[in-house]
Amino acid sequence: MINERTSIGGLSRQETISLQKEALLKLIAERNIDIITLNPHQLYPYYTNPHALLFDLQKNGAKIDCLILYSEELILPFSELYYERWLMIRSYFTVLMSVQSDISKNYYIS
């Protein structure tokens, strides 16, 4: 999940997107994580819109090992504004991981 609507540390939006992509790809490579595509018609191999992610998760219906975020802070506005939808998204994943901190310890889903 990449947040395209924010900037990190005074970077431009495009630089922020690049920073998130590079960091997420590095984590994926380090942990040998396979990327799955829920929607073969999506433009990128990642989501930028949590609503679209939820739609595709509901359509697919599968339980997925992990959702990788750049940081908790970048998903916080969505999770606070659309709390129920965020809980629904989380319910599809066993673990949430973040590049910025290991939030997986706090977000195991039963």
Residue-wise pLDDT tens digits, 6-39: 888 888 999 999 999 999 999 999 999 999 989 9
Residue 104 clears pLDDT 60, i.e. is over it: no
CB 67 within 8 A of CB 93: yes
- The kind and range of the H/E element at 20 are helix 13-30
pLDDT at 110: 28
Residue 105 clears pLDDT 90, i.e. is over it: no
Confidence of residue 101 (pLDDT cuts 50, 70, 90): low
